[in-house]
């Protein structure tokens, strides 16, 4: 799996391995702090790797009907959980282009007919760490 590397503005953290808030590409993100945010001042610019953690066992029909607007992006559900909206760019392994990040292995298929389909996959967590 390849992380997405972003330049972000650090806003705040609850501590190591707890929830932190950053802003990347104009979007406020709630992430797991694996970058030592407690050592940073609010407003600090930092390069981070974003590691999306797809939820296990998502409902196939729900994934393929969750993105009727054919969007790419992240919608926060709660905490550090997100609905990642994007397009399937490859299968085996499945990769979804969700704009700010690529989500790998959100679901499993070898069916090439899925390439080009717009989906919505649930991320159980979005981790942020130093490159």
pLDDT tens for 8-23 read: 999 999 999 999 999 9
pTM attached to this predicted model: 0.91
pLDDT-above-90 percentage for the chain? 90
Q: Is 97 exposed, middle or buried (0-12, 13-18, 19+ CB in 10 A)?
A: middle
pLDDT of residue 2: 78
Residue 62: φ, ψ to 5°: -65, -40
Q: What is the pLDDT of residues 68-115, one digit of tens each?
A: 999 999 999 999 999 999 999 999 999 999 999 999 998 999 999 999
Average pLDDT over residues 52-67: 89
Q: Is the peptide bond before 93 cis (omega within 30 degrees of 0)?
A: yes
């Amino acid at each position: 799996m390849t992380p997405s590397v972003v330049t972000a503005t650090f806003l705040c953290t609850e501590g190591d391995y707890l929830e932190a808030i950053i802003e990347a590409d104009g979007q406020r993100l709630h992430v797991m702090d694996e970058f030592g945010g407690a050592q940073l001042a609010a407003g600090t610019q930092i390069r981070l790797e974003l590691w999306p953690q797809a939820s296990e066992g998502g409902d196939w029909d729900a994934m393929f009907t969750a993105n009727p607007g054919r969007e790419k992006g992240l919608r926060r559900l709660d905490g550090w959980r997100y609905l990642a909206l994007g397009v399937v760019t490859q299968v085996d392994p499945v990769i979804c282009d969700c704009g700010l990040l690529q989500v790998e292995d959100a679901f499993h298929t070898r069916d090439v007919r899925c390439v080009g389909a717009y989906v919505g996959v649930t991320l159980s967590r979005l981790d942020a760490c130093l490159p």
